[in-house]
């Protein structure tokens, strides 16, 4: 009985200890990755990356998060393999650093919002409430070393609707990424279409589309 009473007393305290930002992020994770699959996800993504000037690019990402492994094939012109922090250039004239940059790019953007749980993520704060196309959103702010990011989550469902980042301290120059549709990947709801715009001009930069997944 004493153990039960202690449990009942401590649990509400633990829940209350969560910050408002923690609660928003927990709701987002519950929506996008309720079974906590992302840390051990094994799959292959096929992306079509379009730009207003220039041809479309096809990128295939083979991923094993449990083993920190990624193979990157961009148009069959650049091919890399990354195991942990060890990178190999299998094709193309770029260096190994390029492979690590691309690995981090794809892992972060396509792993959101789960990537906000990474141990190296700076403190996350609640930036307030805003509307995105008439949808009430909670906004989380993360100040990285070089960029400050804002993430917008549906207040009711926790679904991530868009995010943006600024590259200067005055928060005047940056980019906005809007999200459309979703694709289910082994229980994870991943936004399928990402469109990029400059801030503050709102100049269209391109769209990245998750065309398929091979489990």
pLDDT class for 10, splitting at 50, 70, 90?
very low
Quick: pLDDT tens for 54-106: 899 999 999 999 999 999 999 999 999 999 999 999 999 999 999 999 999 99
Q: Count the residues in the chain.
A: 215
What's the total number of domains in the chain? 1
What radius of gyration do the chain's Cα atoms show?
Answer: 19
> Per the domain annotation, does 96 fall within a domain?
yes
Position 169 scores a pLDDT of 85
> Per the domain annotation, does 48 fall within a domain?
yes
CATH of the domain at 166: 2.50.20.10
pLDDT above 60 for 4 = no
> Per the domain annotation, does 71 fall within a domain?
yes
Quick: pLDDT tens for 159-214: 999 999 999 989 999 999 999 999 999 999 999 999 999 999 999 999 999 999 98
> Per the domain annotation, does 67 fall within a domain?
yes
pLDDT class for 17, splitting at 50, 70, 90?
confident
Structural domain for 32, as ranges = 20-214
> Per the domain annotation, does 61 fall within a domain?
yes
pLDDT class for 8, splitting at 50, 70, 90?
very low
Beta bridge partners of 131: 136
**Token pair 């393999």: residue:** 81
pLDDT above 80 for 28 = yes
Instruction: Residue 89: name the closest of 105, 77, 104, 107 by CA.
Output: 77
> Per the domain annotation, does 208 fall within a domain?
yes
DSSP 3-state assignment of 52? coil
Report the pLDDT averaged over residues 5-26. 68
> Per the domain annotation, does 134 fall within a domain?
yes
197-to-149, 193, 194 alpha-carbon distances in Å: 14, 13, 10
Per DSSP (E only), the strands in the chain are 42-50, 57-64, 69-74, 78-83, 86-91, 124-132, 135-143, 148-154, 160-166, 174-185, 188-199, 204-214
> Per the domain annotation, does 4 fall within a domain?
no
Position 16 scores a pLDDT of 54
């Amino acid at each position: 009985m004493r153990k039960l009473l202690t449990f009942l007393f401590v649990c509400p305290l633990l829940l209350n200890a969560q910050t408002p930002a923690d609660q928003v992020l927990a709701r987002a994770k519950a929506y996008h990755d309720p079974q906590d699959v992302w840390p051990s996800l094994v799959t292959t993504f096929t992306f079509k990356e379009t730009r207003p000037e220039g041809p479309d690019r096809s990128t295939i990402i083979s991923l094993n998060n449990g083993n920190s492994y990624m193979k990157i094939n961009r148009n069959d012109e650049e091919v890399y393999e990354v195991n942990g922090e060890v990178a190999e250039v299998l094709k193309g004239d770029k260096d190994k650093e390029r492979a690590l940059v691309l690995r981090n790019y794809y892992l972060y953007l396509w792993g959101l919002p789960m990537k906000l749980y990474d141990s190296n993520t700076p403190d996350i704060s609640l930036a307030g409430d805003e509307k995105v196309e008439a949808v009430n959103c909670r906004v989380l702010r993360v100040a990285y070393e070089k960029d400050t990011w804002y993430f917008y989550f549906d207040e009711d469902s926790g679904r991530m609707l868009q995010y943006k980042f600024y590259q200067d301290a005055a928060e005047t120059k940056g980019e906005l990424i809007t999200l459309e549709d979703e694709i289910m990947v082994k229980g994870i709801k991943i936004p399928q279409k990402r469109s990029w715009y400059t801030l503050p001009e709102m100049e269209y930069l391109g769209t990245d589309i998750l065309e398929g997944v091979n489990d």
